[in-house]
Amino acid sequence: SPMLRSCALLLALLFYVAGAQGAVIPTSDPNIYWSDYNWYRSSSYAQSVNPGAYFKVTFTNSSLLALQLHVPPSPSPPTTAYMTLRYSLDSAPYVNITLPAPGNIIKIASGLSSNSSHTFVCYILNSVFTVSRWYNGPPNSVMISGLQLEDGGKTAPNMMIKPKRMLAYWDSIGEGVRTLGVGDALVVDDSTITWAFSLAEGLDAEISVIGFGSQGYTVTGVGDVAPLFTPGNDSFSAWDKYFDAQSRLTTGKFSPPPDYIFCGHGTNDYYRGISSSVVQASVSGWLQAVRAAAPSAHIFLCVPFGGFHRIAITQAFGNYTGDARSYLLDLGAEAQEGLSSLGVPSRFADDGLHPLGPRSGQLGGILAVKATKEIMKKKMQ
């Protein structure tokens, strides 16, 4: 009857407004896909510091959806805006949420058809550079403790998971800095429209982007991030850690094993005056270390789009005793145009270095074509 329907709607609304528990789906639910190498997973939450990190899930039997955050008492998250999440439900236009959010419940939707399956995807869109991403927590991260559905709600196998796994180490160009122009990081940085996601689409892979602004092979990144690889100093190397002292590896290996690994550092080493010999030593050490952690992966050592430290990177690869599944990718002048002079605006970059979204996407497509050709070339040898 109309009265019963009204009562049911009122009860659903009260549930939603009050943030009642209903069915709480933990982050350990096997039907939730987390970008594999971005999220530290504890028994009670999933945590990431990386713009471009994402998760996706399919759920049924619920007209409601909310995201439950884990807010630790210490260190407390920043009280001013420090990160943006971006989500889409059932392929609707994206919605952005700025953190910190009031309370620990982010209400996504109500009034959904409980008789239908629904798909949800959520990204870390961007974050500020002024809050630590590495130490003491770190505070510049998001910690998700679960999804809230109504009673009887449940997840379902996600049929949209790509078959391959990819890991990409990069700098600010990897985390989408200034893809929308020059300005406030929480406005103009967009990690979801970079070369990385175009590359992943081209190789039919789920991608984990590990991009930190200002980081290089040998130099620290903003937010206190360690260099990518410091020879002889594992504790001051970031490649194998989610953040300080929290390993990204399981018994010395990536899990699951990645199919592809790309690395495009070198830009910030150049701008901070690091010598070619120091960069070369770091690149050589990283190649050996990452191969030990990913024995079967196709590893692509990339010269930065702007061409920085081309000689050092090329020499390091040439000296690598290597294997048949490692490759040097140098896009040369095709990529370098308009991206090699910080402070000199070009048609491809408002600041002369960080590619705008359309150009970044094009570069990802070029990388995918080149990488595929390199793999096929070695298979035919």
Separation CA 134–CA 127 (nearest Å): 13
Residues 6+ apart with CB under 8 A from 53: 34, 35, 38, 39, 123, 124, 208, 209
The mean per-residue pLDDT over the stretch 77-102 comes to 95
Residue 17 pLDDT? 42
**CA-to-CA dists, residue 99 to 39, 86, 95, 223, 244, angstroms:** 18, 11, 13, 17, 22
Of 228, 237, 191, the closest CA to residue 364 belongs to 191
Across all residues in the chain, what is the average pLDDT?
93
Q: How many CB atoms lie within 10 A of CB 264?
A: 26
Residue 78 pLDDT? 87
Residue 9 pLDDT? 40
List beta partners, residue 205.
Answer: 164
Q: Is the pLDDT of residue 13 over 80?
A: no
Separation CA 379–CA 327 (nearest Å): 12
Residue 74 pLDDT? 65
Where in 128-229 does DSSP place strands (E)? 142-149, 154-156, 164-170, 205-211
Confidence at 22, pLDDT banded by 50, 70, 90: confident
Of 38, 130, 37, 135, the closest CA to residue 83 belongs to 130
The model's pLDDT over 316-371, given as tens digits with 9 standing for 90+, comes to: 999 998 789 999 999 999 899 999 999 999 999 999 999 999 999 999 999 999 99
The mean per-residue pLDDT over the stretch 281-310 comes to 98
Name the DSSP letter for residue 250: B
Separation CA 300–CA 366 (nearest Å): 14
Characterize the bridge pairing of strands 298-302 and 326-329.
parallel
Residue 228 pLDDT? 98
Residue 77 pLDDT? 77
Helix (H) or strand (E) holding 314: helix 310-319
Q: Is the pLDDT of residue 14 over 70?
A: no
Confidence at 380, pLDDT banded by 50, 70, 90: confident
Confidence at 103, pLDDT banded by 50, 70, 90: confident
Largest CA distance in the chain: 79
Residue 372 pLDDT? 98
Residue 170 pLDDT? 98
Q: How many CA atoms lie within 13 A of 155 on its CB side?
A: 20
Of 209, 34, 27, 69, the closest CA to residue 126 belongs to 209
What number of residues does the chain have?
Answer: 381
Are residues 188 and 179 in contact, defined by beta-carbon separation less than 8 angstroms?
A: yes
Where in 205-314 does DSSP place strands (E)? 205-211, 241-243, 246-247, 260-263, 298-302
The mean per-residue pLDDT over the stretch 51-76 comes to 91
The model's pLDDT over 150-189, given as tens digits with 9 standing for 90+, comes to: 999 999 998 889 999 999 999 999 999 999 999 999 999 9
The mean per-residue pLDDT over the stretch 200-218 comes to 98
Are residues 58 and 159 in contact, defined by beta-carbon separation less than 8 angstroms?
A: yes
Provide the percentage of residues in the chain whose pLDDT is more than 70.
Answer: 94
The mean per-residue pLDDT over the stretch 130-136 comes to 95
Q: Is the pLDDT of residue 59 over 50?
A: yes
The mean per-residue pLDDT over the stretch 115-129 comes to 97
Confidence at 261, pLDDT banded by 50, 70, 90: very high
